[in-house]
């Protein structure tokens, strides 16, 4: 669903948020029970995987493995929060992996390993992220390009720019001052997990307690109606893409700090991991429905699952098969209505779209 999709009968322009349309997700309407219900599927999955892990890989519940899971969850989670914002307005961001790569290349080539130049390098990386986010947002809002195509195009574009600029051989060292962000621990917990927690709390508060959040949900549920009620949906959509790109920069900085090198081989898996985590959590790909809490649950499930498969010694093929199966299961559960939706409302929504 893209912004500007004609949405059935035009609602009352006067109503700021048309009742009924975003109701399934608007924070005010979701009682505690419904919130818990939405978390039921990912949490059940999480418990199941933890049980399986306990049975099959005895060493799973050691401090070392747990810290690995938390590190991985942090890295996936930061991008997944950005992805969730974009999914909520009915888009998708496939340029996350490219922005992560771009960030490491910018930091390495500008700072050439010197701590003193790190600050400027980070600002440059953020500026680049801002640029990619704006490009995505403007393509989607001004040119009405589907988000899938727009962000994939910027993925290819950014990769091309990086390859042409570095002649395929990015080099340079990441300043040591960045390494605590990737390898550091606070209270025994990896720093990336703390960053994820912070990002998730901020995003959660913004989404559930502020006018900005309400506009995001309303735009995702019914962009036309929201626009007619006076909200500048273009700004909301662009803002979400920019937020996603900036969070990708943060993930890029963490990655750079973790390994200390420009990793030209780092795959694009973070794009898909971020989508997977959000979908497993129950964020609707059609926009307008889902909470950050669900994304956090999805991230936890995915990170535990990946760590467990690795501990099992499962090959790359098996890892992909299992991740794919879990995503399919999540999507199936969503569409079969096990999440917080009554059958009546499903019907109503389907009628509108």
Partner 1 sequence: MNTNIGSANRRRGARLPLAIGLSVALVAACGTEQEGSSSAGEAREECANAEEAQRTYEAAWSQAAEQLGLEALEPTEEKVCEVDTSDWAAEPKSGNSYRIAFAAQGPTNSWALTNEEAFKYRAEELGVDVLYAAANGDATVQVDNIAQLVSQDPDALVVVPMGDGITGQVRAAAAAGIPVIMCAGRLTDDSDVVSTVTRQYELLGTMYAEWLAREMGGKGQVAVLSGLAGVPTAEYQKAAALDVFQRYPDIEVVTEQYTEWSPTVAKQVAANLVTQYPDLAGIWSDSGYGDLGVVQAYQEAGRPVPPMTGDAINAFLKAVDGTDVRFALSSFPPEQSMDCLDTAMSILEGEPVLDKVYISSPSFTHEDIDEYVRPECSDNLFVPALLPDEQLAELGLC
C-beta of 267: minimal distance to partner 1 in Å? 6
Q: With binding defined as CB under 8 A, does residue 120 bind partner 1?
A: no
Q: Which helix (H) or strand (E) holds 249?
A: helix 233-259
Stretch that binds partner 1, among 44-52, 56-64, 213-221, 235-243 (CB under 8 A): 56-64
Stretch that binds partner 1, among 25-33, 117-125, 160-168, 282-290 (CB under 8 A): 160-168
C-beta of 165: minimal distance to partner 1 in Å? 11
Q: With binding defined as CB under 8 A, does residue 194 bind partner 1?
A: no
180's CB contacts (< 8 A; 6+ apart) are: 191, 257
Q: Toward partner 1, which CB reaches closer, 182 or 290? A: 182
Exactly one of 132, 307, 330, 333 binds partner 1 (CB under 8 A); which one?
307
Question: In 10 A of CB 240, how many CB atoms?
Answer: 29
Stretch that binds partner 1, among 17-25, 54-62, 195-203, 290-298 (CB under 8 A): 54-62
Q: Comparing C-alpha atoms, which of 251, 181, 238, 239 is closest to residue 206?
A: 239
Exactly one of 40, 260, 272, 345 binds partner 1 (CB under 8 A); which one?
260
C-beta of 142: minimal distance to partner 1 in Å? 31
Exactly one of 310, 331, 338, 348 binds partner 1 (CB under 8 A); which one?
310
Stretch that binds partner 1, among 209-217, 244-252, 261-269, 339-347 (CB under 8 A): 261-269
Q: How far apart are CA 274 and CA 332, in angstroms?
A: 18
Q: Comparing C-alpha atoms, which of 272, 250, 258, 5 is closest to residue 155?
A: 272
C-beta of 47: minimal distance to partner 1 in Å? 22
Q: Which two tokens mark 242?
A: 């920019």
51's CB contacts (< 8 A; 6+ apart) are: none
Stretch that binds partner 1, among 2-10, 120-128, 214-222, 258-266 (CB under 8 A): 258-266
Burial 265-300, CB ≥16 within 10 A → b, else e? ebebebbbbbbbbbbbbbbbbebbbbbbbbbbbbbb
Stretch that binds partner 1, among 127-135, 252-260, 294-302, 334-342 (CB under 8 A): 252-260
Exactly one of 5, 286, 311, 346 binds partner 1 (CB under 8 A); which one?
311
Exactly one of 261, 272, 331, 348 binds partner 1 (CB under 8 A); which one?
261
Exactly one of 138, 153, 197, 264 binds partner 1 (CB under 8 A); which one?
264
Orientation of helix 63-88 relative to helix 233-259, angle to 10°: 160
Q: Comparing C-alpha atoms, which of 289, 282, 139, 275 is closest to residue 222?
A: 289
Q: How far apart are CA 151 and CA 161, in angstroms?
A: 15
Map 150-202 to HEC letters: HHHHHHHHHHHHHHHHHCCCCCCECCHHHHHHHHCEECCEEHHHHHHHHHHHH
Footprint on this chain of partner 1 (rule: CB under 8 A)? 57, 59, 62, 64-65, 68, 72, 163, 167-173, 183, 255, 258-267, 307, 310-311, 313, 315-317
């Amino acid at each position: 669903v893209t912004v500007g999709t004609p949405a059935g009968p035009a609602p009352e322009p006067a109503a700021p948020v048309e009742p009924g349309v975003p109701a399934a997700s608007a924070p005010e309407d979701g009682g505690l029970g419904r919130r818990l219900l939405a978390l039921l599927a990912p949490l059940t999955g999480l418990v199941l995987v933890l049980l399986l892990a306990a049975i099959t890989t005895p060493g799973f519940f050691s401090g070392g493995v747990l810290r690995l899971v938390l590190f991985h969850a942090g890295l996936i989670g930061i991008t997944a929060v950005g992805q969730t914002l974009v999914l909520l307005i009915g888009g998708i961001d496939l340029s996350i992996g490219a922005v992560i790569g771009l960030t490491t290349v910018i930091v390495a080539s500008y700072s050439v390993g010197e701590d003193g130049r790190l600050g400027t390098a980070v600002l440059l990386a953020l500026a680049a992220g801002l640029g990619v986010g704006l490009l995505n947002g403007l393509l989607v809002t001004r040119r009405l390009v589907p988000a899938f195509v727009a962000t994939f195009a910027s993925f290819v574009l950014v990769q091309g720019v990086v390859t042409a600029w570095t002649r395929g051989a990015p080099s340079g060292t990441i300043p040591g001052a960045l390494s605590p962000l990737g390898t550091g621990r606070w209270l025994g917990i990896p720093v990336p997990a703390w960053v994820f927690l912070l990002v998730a709390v901020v995003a959660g508060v913004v989404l559930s307690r502020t006018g900005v959040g309400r506009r995001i949900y309303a735009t995702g549920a019914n962009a036309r109606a929201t626009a007619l009620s006076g909200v500048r949906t273009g700004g909301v959509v662009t803002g979400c893409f920019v937020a996603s790109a900036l969070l990708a920069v943060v993930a890029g900085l963490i990655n750079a700090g973790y390994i200390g090198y420009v990793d030209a081989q780092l795959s694009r898996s973070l794009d898909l991991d971020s989508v997977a985590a959000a979908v497993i959590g129950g964020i609707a790909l059609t926009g307008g429905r889902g909470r950050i809490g669900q994304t956090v649950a999805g991230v936890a499930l995915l990170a535990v699952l990946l760590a467990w498969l690795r501990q099992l010694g499962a090959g790359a093929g098996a890892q992909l098969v299992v991740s794919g199966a879990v995503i399919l299961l999540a999507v199936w559960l969503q569409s079969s209505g096990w999440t917080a939706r009554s059958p009546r409302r499903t019907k109503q929504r389907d009628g509108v779209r």
